[in-house]
Structure 1
Amino acid sequence: MRLDDTVGDSYDNAMAESADGAYETELVWRRKLFADLAELELATFRWVSWWNSKRRHQSLGYRTPEQIETEYYASRLTIKGEQKSGHSNSPPNTTVKPRS
């Protein structure tokens, strides 16, 4: 098997190429030249921070990763609170076990 024929595994770098293309298009080619390497590094850091936290993702229902993470942890706190108090919004278990 040739490495360039694989899809969906560690040899498939389509996602990385997509992110690299977006980086070049959105940051590098849309602005004036960078004064020095430090300016490029800072701009890259800011772009990556935006890409990983603020950018709306189609696969997340056009929500940001921060929104998804906030919702996840809020739901985990609700579940833990229900477990501690013994209360739940779920209906009680009404399954009857057969006698042996």
Structure 2
Amino acid sequence: MARSVGRKGDSYDNALVESVNALYKKEVIGQEDSWNDVAEVMTTIAELIYWYNNERLHSWCGHRPPLEFEQDYWHDTPEQPPAAA
């Protein structure tokens, strides 16, 4: 992906990153009044990532989790021949 605006290293200049950051703030940060320590935040983030990729139902995927959709895709896709050397 190419960045659109901002300086090198800014994550907020990309619409995809902005939507992920918004989800993270809404689903993780905004759900707690306070955090006990960094480990608690990291564990909660890991749980969100697991849910997002493995359990969340997505309409584009036919209301299936993204990982299940991808596994079915690769299972049903014929193996490609090796590239010529």
> TM bucket by the smaller chain?
0.5 to 0.7
- Percent identity reads 26
2:49 corresponds to 1:48: yes
Unaligned runs of 5+ in 2: 5-13, 80-85
Matches for 1:72-83 after TM superposition, within 5 Å: 72-76=73-77
Match of 1:10 in 2: 2
* 1:58 and 2:59 correspond: yes
Comparing both chains, which one has the higher relative contact order based on Cα–Cα distances under 8 Å and sequence gaps of 6 or more? Answer: 2
Runs of 5+ in structure 1 lacking a partner?
Answer: 1-8, 81-100
User: What secondary structure is seen at the aligned counterpart in 2 of 1:19?
Assistant: helix
Q: 1:11 to 1:58 in 2, by over 3 A?
A: farther
- Look at both structures and tell me which one has the larger radius of gyration over its CA atoms: 1
Give the counterpart letter for 2:54 in structure 1. Answer: S
Q: CA deviation at 1:38?
A: 0.7
TM-score normalised over the length of structure 1: 0.58
What is the aligned residue count? Answer: 70
Q: Which residue of 1 aligns with 2:37?
A: 36
The runs of at least 4 consecutive aligned structure 1 residues that moved more than 6 Å come to none
